[in-house]
Amino acid sequence: MRVITGKYKGRRFDVPHSFKARPTTDFAKENLFNVLMGYVDFEEGPVALDLFAGTGSITLELLSRGCSRVVSVEKDPLHYNFICKFIEKLQDTAALPIRGDVFKYLERCHEKFDFIFADPPYTLSELPDLPDLVMGQRVLKEDGLFVLEHGKTYDFTQHPNFVAHRAYGSVNFSFFKPKEA
* Per-residue model confidence as pLDDT tens digits over 32-86: 999 999 999 999 999 999 999 999 999 999 999 999 999 999 999 999 999 999 9
b/e per residue 132-164 (b: at least 16 CB within 10 A): ebbbeeebbeeebbbbbbbeeeeebeeeebbee
pLDDT category at 22 given cuts 50, 70, 90 is low
Q: pTM above 0.85?
A: yes
Distances (CA, A) of 51 to 10, 55, 90, 102, 117: 24, 11, 21, 6, 6
Q: Look at residue 160 in the predicted model and tell me its pLDDT.
A: 96
- Mean of the per-residue pLDDT values of the chain: 93
Q: Is the pLDDT of residue 138 over 60?
A: yes
List the domains of the chain with CATH numbers. Answer: 45-176 (3.40.50.150)
Alpha helices in 24-127 (DSSP H): 26-36, 57-64, 77-90, 102-108
CA nearest to 115, candidates 71, 169, 172: 71
Tens-digit pLDDT profile for residues 83-97? 999 999 999 999 999
Spatial separation of the C-alpha atoms in residues 79 and 24, rounded to whole Å: 14
Separation of CA 181 from chain center:
25
Share above pLDDT 90 across residues of the chain, in percent, rounded to a whole number:
81
Cβ–Cβ under 8 Å, residues 47 and 116: no
Alpha helices in the chain (DSSP H): 26-36, 57-64, 77-90, 102-108, 130-137
Q: Is 83 helix (H, G, I), strand (E, B) or coil?
A: helix
CA nearest to 7, candidates 47, 61, 51, 81: 61
Please state the length of the chain.
181
Greater model confidence, 57 or 10: 57
Spatial separation of the C-alpha atoms in residues 11 and 21, rounded to whole Å: 20
Q: Is the pLDDT of residue 2 over 90?
A: no
Q: Is the pLDDT of residue 150 over 80?
A: yes
pLDDT category at 21 given cuts 50, 70, 90 is low
Going by their DSSP bridges, the two strands 47-51 and 69-74 should be labelled as: parallel
Cβ–Cβ under 8 Å, residues 138 and 110: no
pLDDT category at 181 given cuts 50, 70, 90 is very low
